[in-house]
Every structure is written in C-alpha cells, then in structure tokens.
Chain A
C-alpha cells in the first residue's frame, strides 16, 4: 500500500462532518420534527389522528421582541463591512510592503465587491417592495 492511498479521501473527510453526510438534511428534518412533537406534548403515535389547525402560541410581546428582518439585514451589512475591511487591510499590506501576494489582495477585493453588489441588490429589492406598498389603493 503506497502512501497516497493511505491518506484520507475528500469523501471520508466530508463524512466526518455530520452536516455534509448524504441525507443529513432529511434526517435532521425528521429529528427536528420529532423534537417539536415532543415539545407540544404529543407522541408520534397520535400523528395519524386528525390534528386541529396549528395554533400560533407566540404572544404579541414575543413577536415584537423576536429578531426581525432589520436585525438580520444589519448583521448582513456588518458581514459586508467586515469583508471590505479585510480587503482594505490586504491592499494596505501589499502597498506598504508587508505582504507580496498580489493575488490575495485582488481576490479579497473581488470578494468584497461581490458582497457589496449583493447588498445593493437586496436593498433595491427592499425599496421596490416599499414603493409597491405605498402605491396601494386605499
């Protein structure tokens, strides 16, 4: 047996991560579904019984305090900003002679650019939907 074949393959390495296994999503879904049933005080035997329409058990306060879209979007913008900062540092390092990897700085700046474009797309979509609502006939 040579040395190359004794190294772990990509599939084996991916298999070590439970999220990357085949059918991991399906089994995760099944597990979540079962745990939800358990939390609602139902057993899986009752699953065939005619169940009433699912009742929303959240209170109005819960709904107000829940992290909303604004929160999510804020985190996203922070992520884009972080990418921009990484790109800036890489370019600075290159210009100041601390690093000599042109490709690294370029790749980082491209990444930041793509993230920024994505942010703009999401913003445009948001503004569009706002305008659509404002045009509603009363």
Chain B
C-alpha cells in the first residue's frame, strides 16, 4: 500500500507527457515547413497527434481503501499525416521539381502551427497548475496541526 499524498498527480503526469509529445510534433512541423523531400522521397506531410484516454486498472485491491492505482489518464495513440495536398510552385531549377518544373511544397502552415504551439503550451501550463494546487492542498492540510 503506497501513499497517494498528491491527489490526481498520475493523470496529470500522463497529460504532461502527452502534451510534450504534441509539442515535439509541432516543432517537427515547423522545422520541416520547407522540406520538399522526406526520407522516402515524397514531400513532407504535416503531422498531427491523436490523444486517447486510458484507464489504469489496479493490480491488487486493498479492501477499505480507495485504490490510487485506479486512474484515468491520457496517452498519444497515433501520429498521423495530414493528407491535404501542398501548394505547387514553379521552380524548374529545383532538384525536386517534376517534369513540368513544379515543386510541391509541404502542407505546413506556420501560422497554424503557432496556434497549435500556444494551445499545447497552455495545456501543459494548466496541468502544471493542477500539480501545484494539489501539492499546496497537501501542505495546507499538514499545517492544520500548527
């Protein structure tokens, strides 16, 4: 029986990890906003993450106690490509140009990525606030005896 002194910290921790991965993917998108060829020779496609809720079921149940191993968290289940076509640019001298001299640019919109970046950073911040508040609650409870 372990102590669960900071309530909700397990769910929040999983959310922090998930938001971190989301941020990494956004960074990847911005970094590759001008990449016309990826490892497979195709144009870079904007990537997106899919979050899924998961329930951690307790391994053992102690009668009379609320089991802290039972919690609902979030995890990244998939990183998928955005399949919208990128815009074509006429640049016959480009090494990745096709027979007509057109180069397909990645479908990354940097301004949209910035919005996602802010959203991810705010979500991370919100989860950090939960941890802080939760810890403060524990400390305030401990000051009852003072």
**Partner-B contacts on A (CB < 8 A):** 7, 10, 13-14, 17, 19-20, 28, 79-80, 82-83, 101, 103-104, 107, 110-111, 114-115, 117-118, 121, 125
A112 to chain B, nearest CB (A): 9
Residues of the B chain whose Cβ atoms lie less than 8 Å from the Cβ of A110? 6, 131, 135
Residues of the A chain whose Cβ atoms lie less than 8 Å from the Cβ of B131? 103, 107, 110
**Cβ–Cβ contact A20 & B3, under 8 A:** no
**Given the complex of chains A and B, what is the CA–CA distance between A107 and B130 in angstroms?**
11
**Cβ–Cβ contact B55 & A13, under 8 A:** yes
Digit string of B8-29 for contact with A (CB within 8 Å is 1, else 0)?
0100110011001000000000
B142 at the binding interface (Cβ < 8 Å): yes
**Given the complex of chains A and B, what is the CA–CA distance between A110 and B137 in angstroms?**
13
- Total chain B interface residues with beta-carbon distance under 8 A: 28
B125 to chain A, nearest CB (A): 11
Main secondary structure of the interface of A (DSSP, over half): helix
B114 at the binding interface (Cβ < 8 Å): no
**Cβ–Cβ contact A79 & B3, under 8 A:** yes
Residue of B3, B9, B67 with highest tally of chain A CB at under 10 A: B3
Q: B9's closest neighbor in chain A, by CB? A: A107
**Given the complex of chains A and B, what is the CA–CA distance between A17 and B64 in angstroms?**
11
Partner of B61, one of A17, A28, A79, A107: A17
**Cβ–Cβ contact B6 & A19, under 8 A:** no
Q: List 18 interface pairs A-B (beta carbons < 8 Å), by A numbering.
A: A13-B55, A17-B61, A19-B65, A19-B67, A28-B64, A83-B2, A83-B3, A103-B13, A103-B17, A104-B13, A104-B17, A107-B12, A107-B131, A111-B9, A114-B6, A114-B142, A121-B145, A125-B145
Residue of A7, A14, A118 with highest tally of chain B CB at under 10 A: A118
Q: A24's closest neighbor in chain B, by CB? A: B64
**Cβ–Cβ contact A114 & B17, under 8 A:** no
Partner of A101, one of B5, B20, B66: B20
Residues of the B chain whose Cβ atoms lie less than 8 Å from the Cβ of A28? 64
B95 at the binding interface (Cβ < 8 Å): no
**Cβ–Cβ contact A118 & B6, under 8 A:** no
Partner of B5, one of A10, A104, A118, A125: A118
**Cβ–Cβ contact B3 & A103, under 8 A:** no
A21 to chain B, nearest CB (A): 12
Residues of the B chain whose Cβ atoms lie less than 8 Å from the Cβ of A103? 13, 16-17, 20, 128, 131
Residues of the A chain whose Cβ atoms lie less than 8 Å from the Cβ of B17? 101, 103-104
**Given the complex of chains A and B, what is the CA–CA distance between A104 and B18 in angstroms?**
12
